[in-house]
Amino acid sequence: MFFDDISTGAANDLDKATEMSRAMVTRYGMSSKLGLATFEREGSPMLGGQGAIRSFQYSEQTAQLIDTEIERMLDQALAKANQILARYTALIDEGAAVLLVRETIDEAELKKLWEKHRSAEPERPKIQQVV
Are both 19 and 70 inside the same structural domain? yes
Does residue 104 form part of some domain? yes
Does residue 128 form part of some domain? no
pLDDT given for residue 64 in this prediction: 96
pLDDT given for residue 65 in this prediction: 96
pLDDT given for residue 53 in this prediction: 58
Are both 29 and 64 inside the same structural domain? yes
Are both 64 and 111 inside the same structural domain? no
Does residue 8 form part of some domain? no
Percent pLDDT > 90 in the chain is 53
Lowest mean pLDDT among 43-47, 55-59, 126-130: 43-47
Does residue 47 form part of some domain? no
CB 38 within 8 A of CB 57: no
Residue range of the domain that includes 92: 88-121
pLDDT, greater one: 127 or 74: 74
Query: For residues 99 and 4, what is the distance between their CA atoms, to the nearest angstrom?
Result: 21
Task: Tell me: pLDDT of 131 over 60.
Answer: no
Are both 76 and 93 inside the same structural domain? no
Task: Tell me: pLDDT of 50 over 60.
Answer: no
Helix (H) or strand (E) holding 71: helix 60-87
Task: Tell me: pLDDT of 41 over 90.
Answer: no
Task: Tell me: pLDDT of 12 over 60.
Answer: yes
> pTM for the whole thing?
0.72
- Assign 57 a pLDDT band (cuts: 50, 70, 90): confident
For the stretch 73-103, pLDDT in tens is 999 999 999 999 999 999 999 999 999 999 9
Region class of 47: left (phi > 0), else alpha (psi between -120 and 50), else beta: left
Are both 74 and 93 inside the same structural domain? no
